[in-house]
Amino acid sequence: DAGITQSPRHKVTETGTPVTLRCHQTENHRYMYWYRQDPGHGLRLIHYSYGVKDTDKGEVSDGYSVSRSKTEDFLLTLESATSSQTSVYFCAISESTGNEQFFGPGTRLTVL
């Protein structure tokens, strides 16, 4: 997890509230990703970024938005949290596509 931090590490919130998760890296990697991990599904890509202000959708992007205003930070926002968004969220970084991704420690989000 060196060089990648996520905050908060745990959060409990109520349905309908907005939630923002933060990923911070000190590796100066260009590419950043947000995944969710659920039993039986493995890691699924929510959104990714290929540079400052350059982002795109992954396979499970509905209900999520992202922003990247500087290289080191990638924010994931749930505009109106739902119970189906209860999950563990991981941020990852990579120097380039087609190379290994390095993951943060994760954020456990519970939506009641």
Partner 1 sequence: GESVGLHLPTLSVQEGDNSIINCAYSNSASDYFIWYKQESGKGPQFIIDIRSNMDKRQGQRVTVLLNKTVKHLSLQIAATQPGDSAVYFCAENSAGGFKTIFGAGTRLFVKA
In the complex, minimum distance from the CB of residue 108 to partner 1, in angstroms, rounded to a whole number: 6
Q: Please write down the HEC assignment for all residues of 1-24.
A: CCCEEEECCEEEECCCCCEEEEEE
Site for partner 1 in 27-66 (CB under 8 A): 31, 37, 39-45, 48, 50, 56, 58-59
Reference 105, options 90, 93, 86, 88; nearest CA is: 90
CA–CA distance from 54 to each of 33, 46, 95 (Å)? 12, 15, 15
Instruction: Tell me which of 66, 78, 101, 111 binds partner 1, using CB under 8 A.
Output: 101
Tokens read off for 50: 């290929």
Residue of the chain from 85, 90, 93, 111 that contacts partner 1 (CB under 8 A): 90
Residues forming the site for partner 1 (CB under 8 A):
1, 4, 31, 37, 39-45, 48, 50, 56, 58-59, 88, 90, 92, 96-106, 108
